[in-house]
Amino acid sequence: MLFAAINLLAAEGGESAAVNPVFPDSAGELVWGAIFFFLTWILLRYVCLPPLLKAREDRELQVQSDYEAAAAAEAAAEQVRRDYETTISEARLQAARMVEEVRVTVDAERGRQVLAVEQEIAEQRQAAMAELDSARTAALGQIVGDVADLAAAAASKVVQAPVDAAAVRPAVDDVVQRTGGSK
């Protein structure tokens, strides 16, 4: 159909030489076209666009300024955060130092008290041991005397003659000594 239409246009062009679809047959279109275009250009250039472009420029400056302010605020916030972290870490270090100092003090005090208690225990133990040795020695002496008396009585019964307990005493002492009487 398009070709048919073009053919028709061509045929018409052949029929009527006065018709020229390309060039305007009056200067009016050129004149008004130029007038309206230059009016558009001039009014946009000098009336319409300057306030709008200035508003855009102001906005860009404002955005830039706000952006810089935001960047500055962000930097300040970052500085505050770093200060806070520094303070926190210093506080933690100080706390750790204090804890360490207290721990050392407590350890020293504990060691001192343990030592004192151990010394006291050792003294008490030594005293008890001495008392025990004394009691044992006394008991052993009593036992040795009793054994000597018993041995003298038994020997008197065997030999049908009186035996002096004092004479038996060295032998009993010797037996007691050999059988662990000092323990």
Q: Which residues of this chain interact with other proteins, rule CB under 8 A?
A: 1-2, 4-6, 8-9, 11-13, 19, 21-34, 36-37, 39-41, 43-45, 47-56, 58-59, 62
Nearest distance in Å: CB 59, other proteins: 6
Tokens 């300040």, residue located = 76
Quote the CA–CA distance of 64 and 61 in Å, as a whole number. Answer: 5
Q: 4 or 158: whose CB is closer to other proteins?
A: 4
Nearest distance in Å: CB 49, other proteins: 5
CA dihedral 111, 114, 119, 122 (to 10 degrees): -140
Q: 40 or 86: whose CB is closer to other proteins?
A: 40
Nearest distance in Å: CB 42, other proteins: 9
Give Cα 53 distance to the centre of its chain: 56
Residue 26 Rama label (left phi>0; alpha psi -120 to 50; beta): beta
Nearest distance in Å: CB 98, other proteins: 56
Q: 51 or 180: whose CB is closer to other proteins?
A: 51
Residue 180 Rama label (left phi>0; alpha psi -120 to 50; beta): left
Nearest distance in Å: CB 88, other proteins: 41
Neighbours of 13 (CB within 10 A): 12
CA dihedral 85, 89, 95, 100 (to 10 degrees): 170
Q: 50 or 145: whose CB is closer to other proteins?
A: 50
Q: 37 or 84: whose CB is closer to other proteins?
A: 37
